[in-house]
Amino acid sequence: MKRIIGAAFAAGTVLASHCAMAQTSGVTLYGVVDLGLRNGSGLTSSNAPAAGSTRSLGSGIHTTSRWGVRGSEDLGGGAKALLHFESGLNADTGASANATKYFDRASWVGLQGGWGTLALGRQTTTLADAISPVDPLAMRFASFNPNIGVTALSQHGLGIQYGSAGATSGSYRLDNSLKYTGRFGGFTARAMWGIGEVESQASALSSHGVGLAWAADGFVVSGAYQSFNDTNKRSLDGTTLGASYQWGSMRLAANAGRNKAETAAGRFTVQRVLSAGGTWAATPWVDLTAAYYKVDRSRTGAADDGYGRLVAFAEYKLSRRTKVYAELDNTRWRNGFQGAANKATATGISAGVVHTF
């Protein structure tokens, strides 16, 4: 009887312990819905160069529309288990943003402790992580923002899959990757390894990256380097370094990015992005943001080209979760970057609403 009572007491203790831990665990459903009316001259509805004008109802002009799930479990001793799934949305049509990957933005599980966080799965690269705190537009208008598209390689325009991105259009996120993030005082260090999973070719589609950021007293410095291989083991190397400063109601930011890709034997494409801008909280309800991006491209056997892009946002906060915005942009293509049949200057104007939950 004593043994039975002792076993029951032990089982009750374990159950109580698990219940207590479960109380500190949870799953959070979250999302963003952003829709805006847009008129573009010299741009298509997807903001590619064009000969004419287009009117559209666009998703993600201010903030990319998405929904996701985050979860954590307290393992005791300061350790946690983490999970994160996130899917992009075309809110104007109700379709997934990615036709081949449902959780295209995040799909990972990890462990976290005093030593840092180790995540395994599909996740952003060190370049994407480094851009986030120092982009002059604060990551607005992702499909049109050169720091996201070119510096962080979301839309590198090379038509080749570099790294385990699962697509030939960009390498902003990688499948089958491991990423370590450690925070030590004001410093944040990152290291990433993307596994190519190509049989008998260990380096094909593989990727390696490192990043380092420092933050103190409103000042942030953030940089990263990442290298990607294609199936022929040709490389795409990207670097970024930037800074931002929050001074009262004003945030200023600037960044420099560069990437170099071997697109064929002996043929290279080099892209550079310089950016600067700021956000002024004019009132507790109104934010005004403006940023300029200069993009240069050089290719083996072709003339150098590029473009300059100015983007401005005005936002009015209706509540903590809902805001309305107006956006203006101007793009001036150089040396025929846009294609011979398209306008040399493109302009756009947008107005919309964004709601978070």
Report how far residue 333's alpha carbon sits from residue 350's, in angstroms, rounded to the nearest whole number. 21
Structure tokens at 120: 């395994």
Domain residues for 148? 2-356
pLDDT at 11: 40
DSSP structure class, residue 13: H
pLDDT of 16:
40
Task: Determine the 3-state secondary structure of 264 from DSSP.
Answer: strand
Which DSSP symbol is given to 149? I
List residues bridging with 111 in a β-sheet.
81, 118
Size (the chain), residues: 357
Question: What per-residue confidence (pLDDT) applies to 27?
Answer: 95
Please measure the distance between the N-terminal and C-terminal CA atoms of the chain and give it in whole angstroms: 54
Burial of 200 (0-12, 13-18, 19+ CB in 10 A): exposed
**pLDDT number for residue 315:** 98
Q: What is the reported pLDDT for 79? A: 97
Going from the C-alpha of 299 to that of each of 146, 237, 261, 266, 337, the distances in angstroms are 18, 15, 10, 11, 12
Per-residue pLDDT of the chain (357 residues; tens, 9 = 90+): 344 334 444 444 433 444 344 445 799 999 999 999 999 999 999 999 999 999 999 999 999 999 999 999 999 999 999 999 999 999 999 999 999 999 999 999 999 999 999 999 999 999 999 999 999 999 999 999 999 999 999 999 999 999 999 999 999 999 999 999 999 999 999 999 999 999 989 899 999 999 999 999 999 999 999 999 999 999 999 999 999 999 999 999 999 999 999 999 999 999 999 999 999 999 999 999 999 999 999 999 999 999 999 999 999 999 999 999 999 999 999 999 999 999 999 999 999 999 999
Dmax over CA atoms of the chain, in Å, equals 91
Q: Is 145 exposed, middle or buried (0-12, 13-18, 19+ CB in 10 A)?
A: buried
CATH number assigned to the domain comprising residue 345: 2.40.160.10
Report the helix count and the strand count for the chain, using DSSP H and E.
Answer: 3, 18
Q: What is the pLDDT of residue 9?
A: 40
CA dihedral sign, ordered 291, 32, 242, 47: negative
Domain count, the chain: 1
Burial of 313: CB neighbours in 10 Å, binned 0-12, 13-18, 19+: buried
**Please, how many CA atoms are within 13 Å of residue 220, restricted to the half-sphere of its CB?**
23
Give the three-state DSSP class for 189. strand
Give the model's pLDDT for residue 187: 98
Question: How are beta strands 95-96 and 79-90 bridged, if at all?
Answer: antiparallel
What confidence score (pLDDT) does residue 14 get?
36
Q: How far apart are CA 33 and CA 97, in angstroms?
A: 13
Burial of 253 (0-12, 13-18, 19+ CB in 10 A): buried
Quote the CA–CA distance of 240 and 137 in Å, as a whole number: 16
Token look-up 């903030």 returns 63
